[in-house]
Amino acid sequence: MSSILFALPENQLFAKSLVDQLKIPLGDVIFRHFPDGDSYVRIKSEIKDKEVFLLASLNQPDPKVIPLLFFSKTAKTLGAKKIHLIAPYLAYMRQDKAFNPGEAINSRIFATLLSQYFDTLITIDPHLHRYKTLDEIYTIPTYVLHADILIAEWIQQNIKKPVLIGPDVESKQWVLRAANHIKAPYLIFKKTRIGDRDVQISVPHIEDYQHNTAVLIDDIISSAATMIEAVKHLKQLGVRKIVCIGIHAIFAGNAYQELKATGVERIITCNTILHESSTIDVSGMVADAIRADMLL
């Protein structure tokens, strides 16, 4: 089966790694903007009857969405057999209900839109909270991969005596699987969100782990308010060695600097979003999934 992979400009490194592993060509495409800000897309490679993969990590999604839709429609017009979206980070998953009257349920609207333009979606640890699976909102086949085992292996190789900590109840899914994999102890904190950048965290008993390295694990680090609050509490309780691990390095505004300023030993993320903290490479997992479950 003939396949080709295209990527948004900022995902070129990940794309290179994928095409090397999958032994498929990297497609030639131009994504740019006209002086007035309108998007321009030109697919230069031959794609007729091919399985077309588009790699686009959807952090800061709004400027990327129009080019994505233009790409998909153009690829169909040029005779692509199917168009598969690989979005290592999937945006708009956190607003999964109307918390106040009149609020848009972003996750559902975004899912409906992408489902109209792509034949399948491959993603890594989407923020599933009130939805159990993406099938509740996406009408196309979705392939969800998990970074927890790679995270667990990184911890095992790099941290002596870790205690894994979830800063909120949603993070339990990753923390539990990672802890089980390396047989490490774990704790889950309780978080109350007061605003976009304001959270309160209550900490269970940590006395037994004063001599361990506390490894905070969360799916997304955005404003970093969750991590910063958790770090503050741990420090107040006398924990000295703290490492923060996030799957998706959003780091809005100065979030990364603010988290660093707390004095944590290390901040580690996966390369679903390219960032200086990206240490854990998840491209192999994506390549394996494409090879095993999909169309090569």
Sign of CA dihedral 241, 242, 245, 250: negative
* C-beta of residue 231 within 8 angstroms of C-beta of residue 267: no
What is the dihedral angle through the alpha carbons of 54, 151, 146, 278, rounded to the nearest 10 degrees?
-20
Among 59, 123, 223, 262, binds ligand R5P (CB under 6 A): 223
Tokens of 17: 């790694």
Which residue among 107, 222, 272, 283 contacts ligand R5P (CB under 6 A)? 222
User: 47 or 220, CB closer to ligand R5P?
Assistant: 220
3-state secondary structure of 58: coil
Q: Nearest approach, Cβ of 227 to ligand R5P (angstroms)?
A: 6
Q: Are 203 and 234 in contact (CB under 8 A)?
A: yes
- Number of amino acids touching ligand R5P (CB under 6 A): 14
Within 164-183, the residues that bind ligand R5P by CB under 6 A are 168, 170-171
CA distance 118 to 141: 10
What is the Cα–Cα distance from 96 to 32, expressed in whole angstroms? Answer: 32
Q: If binding is defined by CB under 6 A, does position 271 make contact with ligand R5P?
A: no
Q: How far is the CB of 260 from ligand R5P (least distance, A)?
A: 14
Q: How far is CA 37 from the centre of its chain?
A: 27
Give the Cα separation of 230 and 234 in Å (integer).
6
Find the part of the chain contacting ligand R5P (CB under 6 A) among 46-54, 141-149, 219-227, 281-289.
219-227
How much of the chain is in helix, strand and coil states, percent to nearest 5? 35, 25, 40
Task: In angstroms, give the least distance from the CB of 107 to ligand R5P.
Answer: 13
| Rg over CA atoms, the chain | 20
Residue closer to ligand R5P by CB (options 80, 227) is 227
- 226 near ligand R5P (CB under 6 A): yes
264 binds ligand R5P (CB under 6 A): no
226 versus 283: smaller Cβ distance to ligand R5P: 226
Backbone φ and ψ of 118, nearest 5°: -120, 155
Among 56, 220, 230, 247, binds ligand R5P (CB under 6 A): 220
Q: Give me the 48-87 binding string for ligand R5P, x by CB under 6 A, dash otherwise.
A: ----------------------------------------
Pick the closer one to ligand R5P by CB: 206 or 267: 267
Residues 96/138, Cβ–Cβ less than 8 Å: no
Residue 221 contacts ligand R5P per CB under 6 A: yes
Closest contact distance (angstroms) between CB of 94 and ligand R5P is 6
Q: Where are the alpha helices (DSSP H) in the chain?
A: 12-22, 62-77, 106-117, 148-158, 172-182, 225-236, 255-260, 283-293
* 218 part of the interface to ligand R5P, by CB under 6 A: yes
- Which 90-109 residues touch ligand R5P, going by CB under 6 A? 94
| Letter string b/e over residues 46-67, b meaning 16 or more CB atoms within 10 A of that residue's CB | ebeebbbbbbbbbbebeebbeb
Q: Which is nearer to ligand R5P, 9 or 253 (CB)?
A: 253
By the rule CB under 6 A, 230 interacts with ligand R5P = no
- What residues line the site for ligand R5P (CB under 6 A)? 94, 168, 170-171, 199, 218-226
